[in-house]
Amino acid sequence: MSTATLSRVTLSHLDWLESEAIHIMREVAGQCSNPVLLFSGGKDSICMLRIAEKAFRPGRFPFPLMHIDTGHNYREVTDFRDRRAAELGERLIVRSVEDSMARGTVVLKSADEPRNKHQSVTLLEAIEEFGFDACIGGARRDEEKARAKERIFSFRDEFGQWDPKNQRPELWDLYNARSFKGENMRVFPISNWTEIDVWQYIEREHLALPSIYFAHRRPIVRRSGGLLPVTEVTPARPGDSIENLMVRFRTVGDITCTAPVESDAASVTAIIAETAITTITERGATRLDDQTSDASMEQRKKEGYF
Amino acid sequence: MSAIEKLPTEAIPDNGLLRFLTCGSVDDGKSTLIGRLLFDSKTILADTLHAIQRTSARRGLDIVDLSLLTDGLQAEREQGITIDVAYRYFTTGTRKYIIADAPGHEQYTRNMVTAASTADLAIILIDARKGVLTQTRRHSYLAHLVGIPHIVVAVNKMDLVDYSPATFARIRSDYLAFATALGITDVRFIPMSALNGDMIVDRGERLDWYDGPTLLDILENVPALHGEHAEKFRFPVQYVCRPQDAANPELHDYRGFMGRVESGELAIGDAVTVLPSGRETRVKDIQILGESLPRTVAEQSVTILLEDEIDISRGDMIVKTGELPKIARQIDAMLCWLSESPLDPRRKYLLRHTTRDSKAMLAGIAFRVDINSMEQQAAERLAMNDIARVSFKLAQPIFADPYAESRGTGAFIVIDESSNNTVAAGMIV
């Protein structure tokens, strides 16, 4: 027996996380008949595309990409989304919350209401339209309390609901993706990653990102302790004092509820340095809609949110 | 305050990743222990800390309740207990940790087994005032059954027994008495107070008589490997890549066998056997995204190319020639029944082992283990949380090793096709 066999190599933590995520994606491909990968142009889903490349190249991805567009996205992000899908030569499906509004299946309480939670309706409509039996997403367990308890393969009933008290046991790396028609699985290959892991991976793999992840100057008003960018959908109110601040976004979602943080980090390396010493958790700083109540994410997931 | 000012900003010298499990009775202070690990390793961020400070104040507490950090679901907040496995993450600068926080209640044994299945180390909490309880024995038995190689017994709440060395020594000898009988060999004991932070990350000043490592010292130094012996190469095929890209004739004959190395290592040129066909060939290449690797090791996801054209599909297994697993149509196993619907001996179930599925029928129950007394009892049927030695007859052969030698090829789950639920976890003996 060679000595090489005896001295077992331990994977670095990033290699281990990447390998786990590749394994999960291949299980989806092996077990599900019609999966889809949710791709928003955000940093987590950008990592997911690299993992999909490592999982399936030189073949095509065994699933299309899909974005549920709130209509409130930054142009830089949707442009990036389209460009990246084209570079990879993979099919991108875009389904729009605004179409659901036109159909009357999404009814807003007010015109400027955040549309994140309404993505659930459009997502469920798209799942039904295409008959998807699995949606692969980039959610992480470190993002939020309810997510910390969700399985990697998370079963949803025909209403898209997650039942936290009745989750399938998930043992070893033996995933059970079985579902009946109309039900589906949500699959989270980077469940075990933290925000810093994501940034380290982006740095290691030299992944391109939409420009708004890096420090740039933009008009901002300060509201309820957070920074609110002044945009067409979030105009300044009378009496607001508008500042031209150096900011970057840590998450890129619906404009009305995705706030930037003050920063002069212009590179991934600088962001990693900042992320490691930051004192605000990712969703806390930047997702105004999660602060509604302690249980708001759990509530939304039960309703079919990702 | 800046709760994480000491987090590393430099590239992390990487000592890999360690997954560990915490288990104990409801009031042993498990959530406080985890909160303390996160807090003292400077992993808690300011807004999270503010949120739990607010909640602590609202509940009329005059100190910050660190257990709130791991308190996830609405139902748990209502009942004040942990009902499902919660995963937590922290890094020390040298190692990344994944904590599985398993519930202590008896009816949630299935979640404890779930958490244990991926853990390299288990922390078993004991309340110093109460000593070794039935629950302690049960958790230790499960941790051992699921093959967790390292066990740390955390004797918590030492502050409530005046940090008494005699109490600690008594609990230690009580624990060893039953652990030795179970066959648990790698076990360490730490006296601690999670509430005050003694012997978790910092040593504190009240346990001078204890000269062993702190909890974090142990976590930092334990080998992050399931087994330290040389393992046999096992590669269950997950997916076959046949690009057949008309625009690229080079890919015309490409057949990549994709999967994750469950155990062992493989190098280009090695002789391999493919199961179930038994065909032999050699490794032509090992790839990740077009890059060729000279060899691959356990837990790595790769694509293997072979010298000869062999028909291989998902569920097949590539092994080194001369190191064949058992090709089994009947298996003996320790089974943990996880479902509310009891095992029905007349029904056929689906057994999933590696990437392979087979119909399975119960061939017999040798005994059920009473996990309170560890006694073996005769049993006709199995209900939720029962653990038993059983045998199954399989419609298709599986390529199996004893679980004690290889978790990846010794473990299986049982699926009820009428509900699609995972109803049992099995370990081949």
Residue B56 touches partner A, C-beta closer than 8 Å: no
pLDDT value at position B210? 97
CB within 8 Å: A169 and B422: yes
More confident residue, B101 or B160: B160
* Structural domain contains residue A5: no
CB within 8 Å: B85 and A146: no
pLDDT tens-digit series, residues B378-420? 998 899 889 999 999 999 999 999 999 999 999 999 999 999 9
Cβ–Cβ < 8 Å for B264, B238 = no
Q: Give the CATH H-level superfamily of domain B326-428.
A: Translation factors (2.40.30.10)
- Of 3.30.360.10, 3.30.450.20, 1.20.1530.20, 3.40.50.300, the CATH number of B17-221 is 3.40.50.300
Residue ranges per domain, chain B? 17-221, 234-320, 326-428
CB within 8 Å: B260 and A145: no
DSSP-based three-state secondary structure for B48: helix
**Residue-wise burial string across B65-77, b where 16 or more C-beta atoms lie within 10 A, e elsewhere:** bbbbbbbbbbebe
Domains B17-221 and B234-320 share a fold: no
* Structural domain contains residue A65: yes
Q: How far apart are CA B420 and CA A177, in angstroms?
A: 9
Residue of A nearest to B75 (CA): A165
Nearest-by-Cβ selection for A277 from B7, B12, B48: B7
A246 and A120, same structural domain?
no
Angle, CA B411 vertex, CA B410 and CA B417 arms, to 5°: 135
Can you read off the two tokens belonging to residue B168? 């600690």
CB within 8 Å: A277 and B51: no
Percent of chain B with pLDDT over 90: 61
CA distance to partner chain B, nearest, from residue A194 (Å): 7
pLDDT value at position A160? 78
* Structural domain contains residue A251: yes
* Structural domain contains residue A93: yes
A230 and A157, same structural domain?
no
pLDDT tens-digit series, residues A154-200? 998 888 788 877 788 899 999 999 999 888 899 999 999 988 899 99
A221 and A140, same structural domain?
no
CB within 8 Å: A176 and B17: no
Q: How far apart are CA B369 and CA B371, in angstroms?
A: 6
The residue-averaged pLDDT of B6-27 equals 67
pLDDT value at position A2? 33
Residue of A nearest to B413 (CA): A174
Nearest-by-Cβ selection for A146 from B73, B95, B259: B73
Query: What's the predicted TM-score (pTM) here?
Result: 0.89
Output DSSP code: residue A116: G
Residues 6 or more apart whose CB falls under 8 angstroms from that of A267 comprise A214
Residues of B in contact with A26 (CB under 8 A): 238-239, 258-260, 301
Identity of the residue numbered B302: V
pLDDT tens-digit series, residues B273-308? 999 999 999 999 999 998 999 999 999 999 999 999
Counting the structural domains of chain A, the total is 2
Mind giving me the DSSP string for B284-343? EEEEETTEE-SEEETT-EEEEEESS-----TT-EEEETT---EEEEEEEEEEEE--SSPP
A237 and A276, same structural domain?
yes
* Structural domain contains residue A263: yes
Cβ–Cβ < 8 Å for B81, B73 = no
Those of residues 89-118 in B touching chain A at CB distance below 8 A are 89, 91, 95-96, 98, 110-111, 113-114, 117-118
A274 and A221, same structural domain?
yes
CA distance to partner chain B, nearest, from residue A99 (Å): 33
Residue to test with chain A: of B289, B305, B336, most A Cβ within 10 A: B289
Cβ–Cβ < 8 Å for B319, B381 = no
CA distance to partner chain A, nearest, from residue B213 (Å): 24
A218 and A142, same structural domain?
no
pLDDT range class, residue A304, cuts 50, 70, 90:
low
CA distance to partner chain B, nearest, from residue A153 (Å): 12
Mind giving me the DSSP string for B108-155? GHHHHHHHHHT-SEEEEEEETTT-S-HHHHHHHHHHHHTT-SEEEEEE
B229 pLDDT exceeds 70?
no
* Structural domain contains residue A3: no
Percent of chain A with pLDDT over 70: 87
Identify the CA nearest to B57 among candidates B43, B68, B71, B47.
B68
**Residue-wise burial string across B343-376, b where 16 or more C-beta atoms lie within 10 A, e elsewhere:** beeeeebbbbbbbbbbebebeebeebbebeeeee
Residue B53 touches partner A, C-beta closer than 8 Å: no
A45 and A181, same structural domain?
yes
CA distance to partner chain B, nearest, from residue A204 (Å): 11
CB within 8 Å: B352 and A17: no
Residue of A nearest to B242 (CA): A59
A129 and A231, same structural domain?
no
Counting one residue from chain A and one from chain B, the pairs whose CB atoms sit within 8 A come to: 210
Residue of B nearest to A274 (CA): B9
A156 and A30, same structural domain?
yes
A272 and A131, same structural domain?
no
For chain A, state the CA radius of gyration: 20
* Structural domain contains residue A81: yes
A161 and A18, same structural domain?
yes
* Structural domain contains residue A7: no
DSSP-based three-state secondary structure for A213: helix
CB within 8 Å: B241 and A56: yes
pLDDT tens-digit series, residues A28-68? 999 999 999 999 999 999 999 999 999 999 999 999 999 99
Cβ–Cβ < 8 Å for B351, B424 = no
Residues of A in contact with B224 (CB under 8 A): 10
CB within 8 Å: B420 and A27: no
Q: Give the CATH H-level superfamily of domain B234-320.
A: Translation factors (2.40.30.10)
- Domain of residue A80, CATH code: 3.40.50.620
Identify the CA nearest to B111 among candidates B336, B397, B327, B360.
B336
More confident residue, A147 or A177: A177
CB within 8 Å: B17 and A13: yes
Nearest-by-Cβ selection for A58 from B87, B96, B290: B290
Residue of A nearest to B289 (CA): A54
A191 and A77, same structural domain?
yes
**Could you tell me the residue range of the domain that residue A228 belongs to?**
204-291
Residues of A in contact with B338 (CB under 8 A): 169
Length of chain A: 306
Q: How many CB atoms lie within 10 A of CB B317?
A: 27
Nearest-by-Cβ selection for B290 from A57, A170, A273: A57
Percent of chain A with pLDDT over 90: 51
CA distance to partner chain B, nearest, from residue A48 (Å): 14
Residue B9 touches partner A, C-beta closer than 8 Å: yes
